[in-house]
Amino acid sequence: MKIKYVRCSSLTQNLDRQLEDKDNYDLIYSEKVSGKSKDNRTELNNMLKALRPQDQVFVHSIDRLARNTLDLLTIIKEIKDKGCSITFIKEGWTFTNDDNFATKTQELMLTIIGAIAQAERITIKERQMEGIKIAQAKGKYQKAHPTKLNKVIIQQVKDDRKTGMTETELMNKYHISKPTLYRYLKK
């Protein structure tokens, strides 16, 4: 079976670039979640559990599979140990249980590229923190935190909803998220 794994880091990002060839696969696992750890990736773990010998896994590029070198190597080993292959389309590399010189060279290169992807992720986080500090110094950034409303305000939210205020208007007026709004409306 030809299986494709597709991932991007956030809900606002688009998977289309990785799905241009979707008709070439029997099954596609896709998710929008950070690649920093394999632990929180439901679709990746579902795919790994479902693999059968001779399955072929395809991933757009190495950084789509993992942004952590240890996870990258561990995931590839797990796929190979199940008698499956994994191909990184962008890099043009395929890994199987065949033990030959080309595979050893590719694994060395994979480790190096995995380390670069991990370093890139760390650099992105550092730049993000620098930007946050600058924004905080200018008074333009506040760390998000859950809004806590007291009983009086919760009743006001409910009353405003009864008068016909939309969810968006309520969220803006009380500075709360949609899940928080629903939680208070249920009370």
User: Active-site positions?
Assistant: 9
d(CA 52, CA 50): 7
As a dihedral over the C-alpha atoms of residue 14, residue 20, residue 21, residue 25, rounded to 10 degrees, the angle is 30
Answer for the pair 185, 159: CB distance below 8 angstroms, yes or no.
no
Answer for the pair 72, 79: CB distance below 8 angstroms, yes or no.
no
d(CA 81, CA 51): 10
- E strand or H helix that includes residue 62: helix 62-65
Closest to 65 measured CA to CA, from 12, 104, 25, 18: 18
Phi/psi region, residue 139 (left: phi>0; alpha: psi -120 to 50; beta: rest), is left
Closest to 146 measured CA to CA, from 173, 183, 176: 176
Displacement of CA 155 from its chain's centroid (Å)? 38
